[in-house]
Structure 1
Amino acid sequence: MNPTVSVAVVWNRHGPVPITWGTPVHLQKALEGLALNPVLPEGLVRRLIAHRRGEVAARPDLTTGLIDEMIGTGEPRLLRALAFNERLPESFRLRLARHPDAAVLAALAAGCRHGTAREVFELLLTASEPTTRKFLAENKAMPDDLRERLAADPSAEVRATLARHWPAAPEHVRRALLTDADDGVREAACSAHHPGLPLPDLVPALLADPVTRAGVVRHLALDERTARWLAQDPDADVRVELARHPRLPAELRDVLGADANPRVRVGVFQRQDTPEPLRAAIHADLGAVPLSFGGDEQLERAVASGELRMLRLEWVRADPLPHVGSPYPCFRASAASSHEALPPEAVARLLADDEQDIRWIMAEHAPHLVDAATAERMDREFNPADTNFAPWRPADVLRFPAQVLRRFATDPDPRMRCLAPRDPDLPGGIAAALAADPAAEVRHAVAGHHNLPEHALVALLDDPDERTVHAAAGSLWLPVREMERLLRLAEL
């Protein structure tokens, strides 16, 4: 591919540098890829510091000299990336903890790992911006005696963050958060997602408090009087938690199975003791995602339908075989995700399920039982738009023989051609052909292959697709002379 004229710019220590004739269109992306190239010589890393972007500061192999130069630039993007670099020596972490830039301190608070010097945390605790202290509240690497100071932080947002992310805090910390004057802090401290039992002596007060009531329901030794009272609560979240309670009386279970709120009915649906006619009625009502999302009621139905689809039930996982043929997709998905071994015929049935989510789950849990033909079928039918787990595809957990991967190199579907470079021994001629593929995603997939001929790799530096340029510049096999050429073009 020939170099193209562009009016874009890159940056160096002097400011913007116009891209001129003969310069790759995506020189900026090339420099970003180069900055992360594991084999980039130290001298070239040093020249990239003048690029003043954060990528180079994320490298795991930075020497103390390079780090010192980066800090000396004062460039915020470099310093933020350095602060988040888990390989940063403690002496430099300590220097950054004294930096006046709030964004640098926030990045450092988020990036501290186990083994970080205590003095770093002590300095960060004095940060004036609550954002830094919020990241500290989330950070499990912080020593407990320092972390607990945040329970008295002047910012309610910081205290709520601590309550949300430290459910196993010492008793005096939990007590302070559960009795905090701020509603948001108490609600976070008594979240329904926290596994631990709230302090027993506080349970009556938490049950009486509307903002903590939903969170404490699951921990109650439920009696019938309390259950009847909770069943009338105007807060749907309280009724949802009640619907899931293992000691819910059967009469109230059936009442909540007809609750006006669809999320409460989902809570009844997932119970092991729910009568089949009631379970079937709830599923028939909520099993299909609503076509309309207008108004609060439709929104609640949409949320409930999503919850119903995503349910993974531990009591089904514990005994999966009876549920392999369940009429409820979430039951079959639970069976497919069980840690209990299923017989081959049950696995085959779930791999051929009408619901593609279930086919993917089964393939992920038993990849050794998926033959090449089934794996190919599953990957061909996969539509990235149907999942929120992008970038993921069935081929990420399934394995194809080398001869199948090489066959994919000439497949009409570019998505399948993208799989060919997963063959570590892919012949150079096939790799070169893929590097000239009309589909950008195919060129991107092959850009880092070690058998890609040098001329084909170098050509990808001029590719019209920026992701491909980034991958080519980051290739372990990129000649040093080409690395130097990119830096010269950027006047670095």
Structure 2
Amino acid sequence: MNRLLCGLAANPALPPELVDRLIALAAAGPEPSAPSDPAGLPADCLADLLVRHLSERSDLRPAQVAALAALDEDTPALLARDGHLGAADVDPAVWPLAALALLDEGRGLPEWARRFAADPDPSLRRQLASCPGLPADVEDALAADADPEVAAELAWWTTSAPVAARLARHPHAEVRQAVAGNEAVPPAALAALLTGHGLPPALSCLVCDSREIPFTHDPHCQDVDCALPPGAACDGAHGSTVQVTWARALSNPAAPPEAVAGFAEDSSVWLRLAVAEHPGLPAEVYARLAGDPVPGIRACVARNPGTGPEVSRRLAADPDVEVRRAVAHHPRTPFDVLGRLTPTTRLGPHPLPPVCAATPEELAAGAASADARVRMLVAHRHDLPPELRDRLAADPDASVAKAVAPHPGLAPERLRAMVALHGQQVIARVAANPDAPGDLLAELARHEPPARRALREIASHPNATAEALLPCLADGRARVRAAAHPALPAGIVVGLLDDPDPEVVEAAAGNPSLPPAVMAQRVP
């Protein structure tokens, strides 16, 4: 097995007879002493990659699907998820993982769910428990499963409020911990998990199931077979599991605000963080948490969708940069607050939610700001009115022009003008513009000195021509992308099949412009 064969397996132009030959190679498997790939991938990983690429092909014939499905027990599940196998093709007794994959995709049969719910293999029951749309009797059976990990998996995924409420009272603390984060749990059940009122105590947890208590797990445990999380502890009250249960319930949007608010001043930073994540609390609770001494909690409040503009304005002056950055990414932060943040906070290259929510008047005012950093924030929004977009494209500040350069709809002459004005500072972003024509991309690829980031954009640009792609081969990272580009001349692609970089080889082998005769020569 090698990267060339993996690339060919993904090549959409690979002839059917070569697909057959690759399937035969996959069936033979790697030699026991086969060397690793030059990039470090073991031979068995390459074999798995070959099978995955073959399974993902959209042009597989029925006989090819059958041949792949016969390789091992895992491949039928890949084929099922990729749409090559349906319910009529799968016997759950022969291909249980494929049947479970179809159930997970919503394409399985109800009788399969009942079969797996009674299967003696708990790993199959756990996989079943995560599948959506299970019949009510199957969910009832899984909720009562003797293996708490099966019930816990159902607790994560069920959308049935009665089942979720039942699992919140489960005697095993691990199941309660899982269900605490499920938004299908009725508010009263979540309140009970937080307060303990009306809830019988849990009888066991994963710690006391496997250790003599009292026990605290060493955070630096060296036992490779130990499955307990670091710091797990139980003295009979299942302490660490209960703490996680509280944290998940506190951040669950379905939890009653009054039950959550009671933890806003808890001594545990972890639990206050969870409170700060809850989106439905009274404004005074967020205001109180906005003054918490822990910056991470204040940042959590700043990100919380339930936080109002008043708190956002207050946190915009926070001494911690991550708190201020979180304010800038909050959708309800007033647009004018961004102007207060730009002098002290780097806000990233993507459109901020307040900019995306800004009114036309606010956008126009921002584009006319004397502060280039504010104009840059507006320029990152790529659905601006054409006249505003074009004005920003002509901005004398390179950071503004760089932000607007990838904006769809910019005319080639405007893109060239930006490069003429700002040069190297904007070339990569101009190259990323989806409307950049091939001749402009070729000009950018020949720019001196070379703009390496621009070469990487050009190498994967759908409008790139052969003239634009050839200079990209000089850059290590762009070379991989260019090797896969269908506009690269076939002769160049063939030469790249012997490149010393295995990633380049795989990319070239997957290039649909590779001549079929060459493909045939390279498949044993």
TM-score (norm 1): 0.61
User: Tell me, what secondary structure is at the counterpart of 2:82?
Assistant: coil
The equivalent residue for 1:381 is: 425
Q: 2:470 touches 2:488 (CA, 8 Å); kept in 1? A: no
The equivalent residue for 2:308 is: 246
Q: Does 1:203 align with 2:257?
A: yes
The equivalent residue for 1:214 is: 276
The equivalent residue for 1:85 is: 82
- When residues 40 and 360 of structure 1 are mapped into structure 2, their CA distance, relative to the original with a 3 A threshold, is same
Q: 1:324 touches 1:335 (CA, 8 Å); kept in 2? A: yes
Q: Whole-Å Cα distance in 2 between the matches of residues 364 and 144 of structure 1?
A: 49
- When residues 453 and 330 of structure 1 are mapped into structure 2, their CA distance, relative to the original with a 3 A threshold, is closer
Q: Whole-Å Cα distance in 2 between the matches of residues 353 and 188 of structure 1?
A: 50
When the two structures are aligned, how many residues end up with a matched partner? Answer: 405
Q: CA deviation at 1:311?
A: 4.8
Q: 1:242 touches 1:248 (CA, 8 Å); kept in 2? A: no
Percentage of pairs with the same residue: 22
The equivalent residue for 1:336 is: 379
Match of 2:404 among 334, 356, 362: 362
- When residues 213 and 330 of structure 1 are mapped into structure 2, their CA distance, relative to the original with a 3 A threshold, is farther
Match of 2:64 among 43, 66, 73: 66
Deviations 1:58-82 (A, max 9, x none): 2223333323322322275x45644
Mapping of 1:83-482 within 5 angstroms?
Answer: 84-91=81-88, 95=92, 99=96, 108=101, 112-113=104-105, 115=107, 117=109, 128-129=122-123, 133=127, 147-148=157-158, 151=164, 152=167, 167=183, 169=184, 172=186, 176=189, 179-180=192-193, 182-191=242-251, 198=254, 202-209=256-263, 210=266, 211=271, 212-216=274-278, 218-222=279-283, 229-230=288-289, 233=292, 236=295, 239-240=298-299, 245-246=307-308, 248=310, 263-264=322-323, 280=340, 286-287=344-345, 311-313=352-354, 317-318=358-359, 319-326=362-369, 331-338=374-381, 341-342=384-385, 344=387, 347-349=390-392, 352=395, 354=397, 356=399, 359-368=401-410, 371-374=414-417, 380-381=424-425, 394-407=430-443, 410-411=446-447, 413=450, 415=452, 419=458, 426=465, 434=470, 438-439=474-475, 444-448=480-484, 454-482=490-518
Q: CA deviation at 1:38?
A: 1.6
Q: 1:239 touches 1:264 (CA, 8 Å); kept in 2? A: yes
- When residues 444 and 340 of structure 1 are mapped into structure 2, their CA distance, relative to the original with a 3 A threshold, is closer
Q: 2:3 touches 2:503 (CA, 8 Å); kept in 1? A: yes
Deviations 1:185-223 (A, max 9, x none): 5534553xx8xx635xx221111135342133x523435
Q: Whole-Å Cα distance in 2 between the matches of residues 424 and 346 of structure 1?
A: 22
The equivalent residue for 1:7 is: none
Give me the CA root mean square deviation.
5.2
Q: 1:236 touches 1:261 (CA, 8 Å); kept in 2? A: yes
Where structure 1 has 5 or more consecutive residues not aligned to the other structure, the ranges are: 1-9, 11-27, 288-304, 385-392
Amino acid at match of 1:40: L
- When residues 321 and 410 of structure 1 are mapped into structure 2, their CA distance, relative to the original with a 3 A threshold, is closer
Q: Whole-Å Cα distance in 2 between the matches of residues 239 and 423 of structure 1?
A: 44
Q: CA deviation at 1:480?
A: 3.2
Higher relative CO (Cα under 8 Å, sequence separation at least 6) belongs to 1
Amino acid at match of 1:348: R
Q: 1:434 touches 1:443 (CA, 8 Å); kept in 2? A: no
Deviations 1:370-419 (A, max 9, x none): 623056568953698xxxxxxxx653333233433444565553756673
User: Tell me, what secondary structure is at the counterpart of 2:254?
Assistant: coil
The equivalent residue for 2:11 is: 37
Q: Whole-Å Cα distance in 1 between the matches of residues 110 and 430 of structure 2?
A: 44
Q: Whole-Å Cα distance in 2 between the matches of residues 272 and 478 of structure 1?
A: 52
- When residues 324 and 130 of structure 1 are mapped into structure 2, their CA distance, relative to the original with a 3 A threshold, is farther
Deviations 1:111-150 (A, max 9, x none): 94454555666777777459965x975x8x6569664179
The equivalent residue for 1:302 is: none
Q: Whole-Å Cα distance in 2 between the matches of residues 34 and 349 of structure 1?
A: 45
Q: CA deviation at 1:421?
A: 8.6
Q: 1:435 touches 1:460 (CA, 8 Å); kept in 2? A: no
Deviations 1:157-199 (A, max 9, x none): 88877776x65x4x63x665565474435534553xx8xx635
